[in-house]
Amino acid sequence: MYNLKPGHSYPQGATVYEDGTNFAIYSENATAVSLEFYDTPYDEYPSETIHLKEKDGYIWHVFVSGIKPGTLYNYRIDGPYKPELGLRFNKNKLLIDPYARAITSDVTWNKSVYGYDTDSDQKDLSFSTENDSQFVPKSVVYKDNFDWKGVENPDIPWNNTLIYETHIKGFTKLRADIGENIRGTYSGLGSQKMIDYLKDLGITAVEIMPAQQEVTAEYLYDKKLTNYWGYDTIGYFAPDIRFSSTKKPGDQINEFKNMVKNLHENNIEVIMDVVYNHTAEGNELGPTLSFKGIDNLVYYKLQADNPRYYYDVTGTGNSLDAGHPQVLRLIMDSLRYWITEMHVDGFRFDLASALARQLYDVNSLSAFFDIIYQDPVISRVKLIAEPWDVGPGGYQVGEFPPMWAEWNGKYRDAIRHYWKDRGVNISEFATRISGSPDLYQTSGRRPHSSINYVTSHDGFTMYDLVSYTNKHNENNLNDNKDGTDDNISENFGIEGKTDDNKIKYLRNKRIRSFFITLLTSQGSPMILGGDEIMRTQNGNNNAYCQDNEISWYDWNLDDERLKLLNFVKNMVNIRKKYAVLRRRNFFKGEIIPGTDIKDVIWVKPDGTEMSEEDWTSGNNKAIGVILTAIGMERVFSEPVSYDNLMLIFNPTEDKINFSIPKRWKKAQIIIDSLPEHENFPIGISDTVLNIEPQSAYILEEP
């Protein structure tokens, strides 16, 4: 029998002291709260049950002497079960602590994990009396004991940032030159071999797909599929144990920290993809694992006229109610924890518009943004929004507040259209590669607010973008109905893989043109991991459930893939070398004081400057842009070149003669997208260049 004391209501979760552990959990509408301890993750009965008596501000709390790190625990919470009123308490269901620092496992699916009788015709209006202790993951008591050895966060300026979006498991699962026991784990990503790869590529930040504890939904489990992407979170403080090399509950915390420390030692930041817009508990027919049983009315948005049902703007069955003070506190506590305890450098918020909904409308002045803006910890890291959700008015690209960067879906679509449609959207193309000033300049933001990307985890890889006209998601076992049909892709004549050298050449050239476009655009570039080595998902544009070779990176690189890798490294080095590609401020399109030239000049193939009429006439497809470094702020700490560059883009099917200024007669081509060109620079000696079809060039002024 443990010695009990009242304890404290703050902080929430399990907090370890020398003589025991304080437990605190929030529930407004509960009538009773019990804390249970377990010896193993799959025990049917607890080793001890403690009934909490103290409650302050709806936070139930108790101090239990003798409880040490590694102890397994969960809660049972009693209260009214009235789904028609939004109340779903069920004391028969074991509940994960929302503040748990570690969680033991995924859910073991059994009908007892549902709060209702799944066999009843009344569905969720019925009540389940079955005990689910054996099947629900347990929370783990944890005390920080990690030595960071003085390693500090890199704190890389936004305009120097190059993001590499990757999946922790997929990145290293097939990597033969690291230990088999760490492939697909935090330790694998944090291994020196993989860090050297990222450094050699020029990456400054890895954006890891969700690494907070998630749940694989039962419908996927029944199909022998899995929640590979991880966008169904259940533990907002807990690193996902599936990426642990030991699978011992609690070990995943220090393993995650060690990964971060190793990356930081090599000047690489860690940005986490986080999912605070919904949880893994689904809709009214979903399981009761944590929030739903702790206080459904508090944690979720419910339909105003019928609170039995959830207000879903995420497409997953539920939406967290970020407007409720406790939910907002949970999110902020979680973010601060990952920053202060886990040392991450920033976050990418999945479906961020859902968090901005004040009541039911998207509002950029919502409490969520207000609190982040004034938080001295969270406001100082990199904050990236996926600026949309699936609800009304949810597409909010360009509408987020200052200090936020955004995944720029308009950039992605414009770049794809420009190359696929042979330049018909030249005006928008020019706007997007200029940092999208139409979206960000008037709100006090800088070009870096635009996270530029051609591909991401959600959709085709870059190789598939040039190899498939249609999605091929048959392996998802949903009759190929999932995933978008609007891919803005083309296959150059054959769907999928081919041995046709002409088609392979065209695909290689398009990929290089994409990379040149991406890495010369003003803003913050993001590369989808594996695009640099032609990673393919065989046409699957929604591989969320494919924890297999469809998603894992194939590191057996043939000559074609090695050549592309070297090309991308070269292109990244060019971006890092030339200051004019990483401007802190938007172009003005005006004469630079003390000179006779503009900071940016858009030119037609005949060498004359684009006029207002030229942008709208529809006659111009290919374009050149002269970027002038004169007058730029000298803000870079590393050695950089302040030379002027000229970019030339020809998306058409025809070879064109492109006139360049006379002073550029002895310029050199520092890179182009022709696969046969491997050695740069290439000197030129004329003012008219033959520009190949569907290709891009970068010239350096002599």
pLDDT tens for 397-418 read: 999 999 999 999 999 999 999 9
Query: What percentage of residues in the chain have a pLDDT greater than 70?
Result: 99
The pLDDT of residue 364: 65
CATH annotation of 587-701: 2.60.40.1180
**485 is annotated as an active-site residue:** no
Higher pLDDT: 597 or 167? It is 167
Reply yes or no on whether the pLDDT at 357 is more than 90.
no
Q: Provide the CATH topology of domain 3-141.
A: Immunoglobulin-like (2.60.40)
Catalytic member of 106, 350, 599, 672? 350
Catalytic member of 132, 214, 386, 389? 386
**532 is annotated as an active-site residue:** no
> Closest by alpha carbon to 624, among 601, 657, 591, 595?
601
Secondary structure (3-state) at 468: coil
Strands 54-56 and 59-65 come out as: antiparallel
Instruction: Tell me the two tokens of residue 320.
Output: 């967290």
CA pseudo-torsion sign 412, 558, 505, 649:
positive
The pLDDT of residue 360: 65
CA pseudo-torsion sign 454, 456, 461, 467:
negative
What's the pLDDT band for 206 if we cut at 50, 70, 90? Answer: very high
Ordered by start, the domain boundaries in the chain are 3-141, 587-701
On the CB side of 175, CA atoms within 13 Å amount to 24
> Which amino acid belongs to residue 586?
F
For residue 314, the Cα-to-chain-centroid distance in whole angstroms is: 16
Higher pLDDT: 148 or 595? It is 148
Reply yes or no on whether the pLDDT at 365 is more than 70.
no
pLDDT digits (tens, 9 = 90+) for 212-233: 999 999 999 999 999 999 999 9
The pLDDT of residue 595: 77
Topology agreement, domain 3-141 and domain 587-701 = yes
The pLDDT of residue 470: 98
Entry field: residues in the chain: 702
Type and span of the H or E element at 424: none
pLDDT digits (tens, 9 = 90+) for 482-525: 999 999 999 999 999 999 999 999 999 999 999 999 999 999 99
pLDDT digits (tens, 9 = 90+) for 68-112: 999 999 999 999 999 999 999 999 999 999 999 999 999 999 999
Reply yes or no on whether the pLDDT at 638 is more than 80.
no
Do 225 and 550 contact (CB within 8 A), yes or no? Answer: no
The pLDDT of residue 361: 74
Partners of 527 in beta bridges: 164
Reply yes or no on whether the pLDDT at 11 is more than 90.
yes
pLDDT digits (tens, 9 = 90+) for 25-58: 999 999 999 999 999 999 999 999 999 999 999 9
pLDDT digits (tens, 9 = 90+) for 416-454: 999 999 999 999 999 999 999 999 998 889 999 999 999
The pLDDT of residue 591: 83
Do 386 and 394 contact (CB within 8 A), yes or no? Answer: no
For every residue of 331-387, DSSP letters joined together read HHHHHHHHHHTT---EEEETTHHHHTEETTEE-TTSHHHHHHHH-TTGGGSEEEE--
Reply yes or no on whether the pLDDT at 623 is more than 80.
yes
- What does pLDDT average to over the chain? 96
> Where do we find the tokens 């060039």?
697
